Chain A
Amino acid sequence: MKKAYNEFWVNNLAIQQISEQWHFKNLITAEQLESVKTDFPVEFYRPGLFVKIGLFIFACIACSFFSGFISLFILDAGEKAFALVSIVCCICFTLFLEFLIKDRKLFHSGVDNALLYSAFGASVIPFFLLFNNMQVWQYCVLALVILTVAMIRYADLFVVICAYCVVFTLLANLMMKFALGKALLPFAIIALSVVIFYSATKIRSTYYADCKKVVKVLSLVTLYLGGNYFIVREGNAMLGDLPYLLSPQIPFAPIFYIFSTIIPLVYIFFGLKMKDRILLLVGLFALGFSIFTYRYYFGFLTLAQGLAVSGAFMVILSIICIRFLKETRFGITDEPDSERKIANLEALIAAQYLGQAPQEHGLEFGGGNFSGAGAGSDY
């Protein structure tokens, strides 16, 4: 299928970004960077993140009121009429989307995202209205067909995430139909994640580079969660309508203990070894969740003690690593790779969580909002 965005510019954009990194590292001169920009032109309209957010919000408003506008013409308020409105909207949104991409050279710039999602939403509504007694898996297959088309043509990240979720809903729904399937569900999730991860690593096209990253993250996460003891045990209790507060022990528990411990370590190890940041970061988060899992069932510290101990541990560990990696060791270094972009964000987090000075009423303490210090809210 033809791709919606100009693939030539997508490639050039990647070349420009890589060249900028080289320039930051003083591998190429500023003049060379300039000639890269003229020789590999990119004509996409690419505003900053916040303009994108604004465009997205207002495009969503426009889309929803456009459908309201269309429905003004149809006086009959039955389900069939509404399905017709949806189809008309879907066609209009898609045409408009194509027109804007061609005419205004949009490239994931907010408006096109909003139009794509609206078109997708409008395209599935008729199925729910007209065939309202289908099985879940049938809906999943239908949605997956539309999502796949959208994914290949527009390479949109949110569409990829939706498709991924639909695939796993489909899997779970089919497995739940059999008694044995329920017991094997975690293993099926792990197997499917591995298959998807390996197919994702085979993608070479720059057009889908970001999609590939998202799929890699998602498959690593589902692979880990599929083997996580907490998820499996609580999920098992939930699916079997067993007492929720005191979920019973699960079969093959030791396997899941091992999975919960090993998988994050394997991720981190290979992340460092293969210099793969996605693996490393998912591994770090997975490790955090494994610690939470352990504390949930065998916890001997109170919440606050857990926070303080893990905080102290993290501080000490990071200081040791920073000192150790002053010089490059095992191909790993503490030298920054590129400029940090979120310094302002850090300052705002400090304002949100640390800055509450002693209050006049109630607790006269400065520690701030204890409940929500970053990932600590999981504890």
Chain B
Amino acid sequence: MNTLKALKSLLSKGIISDQQSAVIESYIVKKPFSVHWELRSLLYLGILLFGSGLGVIIYENIDTIGHQAIIALISLITAASFFYSYKFRLPFSWQKVTNSNKFSDYTLLLGCTTFLILEGYLQFQYQFFGTKYGIAIFIPTLIFFFCAYRFDHKGVLSMAITGLASWLGLTIAPLSILAENDFTDLKLIATAIFLGLLLIAISWISEEKDIKKHFGFSYLFLGGNLAALANLTALFNQDTKIAYFILGVALSAFFIVRSRKAQSLVFLLMGLVYGYIILTYAIFKLLPDTALGFLGIYYFLFSSIGVIFFLLNFKKFLRIKK
């Protein structure tokens, strides 16, 4: 369907007037080609590449470049970035703030990244924080949380949440939760579940009390996955299975119910997948081994059809109107 054909259809149904049609047609013909998102993506990717490259270069040349020179350079970049964002700041609000300045979002991200590099460098070279690693991680986390709320930046918020997690010895990055956390350690599992629940609670408060409502997604997604995955590994490996089972089912149900309010149906999917795995595991654990092979086929066939039926009618079940 090209746009001119659509225009004709609208005109033939009498939805738009001839005059309006002429306006729209001239708009279609003259419409400039927007490269807005292409340029933004290029900028974003550029910052990511530059940050990574710079980090490695410094690491490789730590002996040859003067330390002071490197520190001065990084500090300069950091300060300039923060200054730029500060200069073009908007008044603070608990609601969403959209900054019309074209670069301040990106300079803030750059500033936060280089700040991490700077801090790591100081610690590596001068043991700036001695052996108090906790403080070394906690300081940027605090700053990032502050910046995220002050300048309304979801990316920096994610960095802050990551920092908070690594302060507790966890990796929260979505693709690395299972690979990089040692979930055989009961203490770590407890920490992960606790932090996950805390983040879920924060997301809940954000959305209910309208405190930076749009941050709810990041909190719920990062925290929810952490809690659910930690809980799942605990269910598989640990002894008190019934406790983990109840918690897991509760979490899944929470995700499914929450997807009504949250901005994304990704939580519906999360709840279903985690819930399905937990229930399946429980059923197979309870059934005697001899019945498994035969019943397994029926179970998977009918349960997955059941889930499909639920998904085809989820709006009805969850009373979502749109």
Chain A residues proximal to chain B, CB less than 8 Å: 11, 14-15, 18-19, 22, 25, 27-28, 32, 35-36, 39-40, 45, 47-51, 53-55, 57-59, 61-62, 65-66, 68-69, 72, 104, 110-111, 206, 209, 272, 275, 280-281, 284, 302-315, 317-319, 321-322, 325, 328, 331-337, 340, 343-344, 346-360, 363-370, 373-376
Contact = CB atoms under 8 A, between A and B. Distances in A.
Contact of A354 (B48, B174, B273): B48
A54 B272 contact: yes
A305 B161 contact: no
Interface stretch (B85-93, B165-173, B195-203, B241-249): B165-173
A57 B305 CA distance: 11
A57 B13 contact: no
B9 interface: yes
A61 B300 CA distance: 7
B113 interface: yes
B38 A48 contact: no
Given A14-B1, A307-B50, A365-B59, A332 B35 contact: yes
Interface in B31-83: 32-40, 42-57, 59-60
Interface string B162-189: 1100110101111110000000000000
Contacts of A55: 308, 311-312
A360 B34 contact: no
Contacts of B291: none
Interface of B: 1, 3, 6, 9-10, 13, 15-16, 20, 23-24, 27, 32-40, 42-57, 59-60, 102-103, 109, 112-113, 115-121, 123-124, 133, 136-137, 140-141, 154-163, 166-167, 169, 171-176, 217-218, 221-222, 264-266, 268-269, 272-273, 276, 297-298, 300-301, 304-305, 307-308, 311-312, 314
Contacts of B39: 318, 321-322, 325, 334
Contacts of B119: 358, 366
B158 A351 contact: yes
A355 B158 contact: yes
Given A47-B314, A310-B49, A319-B43, 17 more contacts: A15-B1, A47-B265, A49-B265, A51-B268, A54-B269, A65-B300, A304-B60, A310-B46, A336-B37, A357-B116, A357-B141, A357-B167, A358-B123, A360-B169, A364-B123, A366-B140, A367-B54
Contacts of A314: 42-43, 45-46, 49-50
Contact of B137 (A15, A302, A317, A358): A358
B304 A62 contact: yes
B26 to A, nearest CB: 11
Given A307-B53, A346-B154, A366-B120, A360 B297 contact: no
The 8 closest A-B CB pairs, nearest first, are A367-B55, A311-B50, A366-B116, A308-B53, A307-B53, A314-B46, A355-B162, A311-B49
Of A48, A275, A367, chain B has the most CB atoms within 10 Å of the CB of A367
Contact of A309 (B3, B53, B272, B314): B53
Contacts of B172: 351
Contact of A347 (B59, B154, B304): B154
Contact of A376 (B10, B36, B49): B49
Contact of A370 (B24, B38, B52, B166): B52
B49 A307 contact: yes
A8 to B, nearest CB: 12
A301 to B, nearest CB: 10
Contact of B217 (A325, A335, A344, A354): A344
B264 A344 contact: yes
Contacts of B124: 363-365
A55 B305 CA distance: 10
